[in-house]
């Protein structure tokens, strides 16, 4: 999922999402089409914790 999509789901600014990515060991990212994405599996795992 793209960072803006994650920000919309959480109701926070995109800058907060990038901060979460830097602090969380659960959230995993991948490169797709030269863009960084959060895996949905890791997002839901993180969100559920």
Looking at the structure of the chain, the number of domains it has is: 1
- Pair 2, 41: CB distance under 8 Å: no
- Span 3-47, pLDDT tens digits: 999 999 999 999 999 999 999 999 999 999 999 999 999 999 999
pLDDT of residue 7: 96
Domain span at residue 16 reads 3-48
Q: What pTM did the predictor assign?
A: 0.82
DSSP 1-49: --HHHHHHHHTS-HHHHHHHHHH-SS--EEEETTEEEE-HHHHHHHHH-
CA-nearest of 12, 24, 13 to 38 is: 24
Cα separation values, 8 from 14, 25, 29, Å: 8, 21, 17
């Amino acid at each position: 999922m793209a960072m803006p999509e994650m920000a919309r789901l959480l109701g926070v600014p995109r800058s907060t999402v990038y901060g979460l990515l830097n602090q969380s060991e659960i959230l995993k990212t991948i490169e797709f089409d030269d863009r960084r994405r959060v895996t949905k599996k890791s997002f839901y795992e993180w969100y559920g914790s």
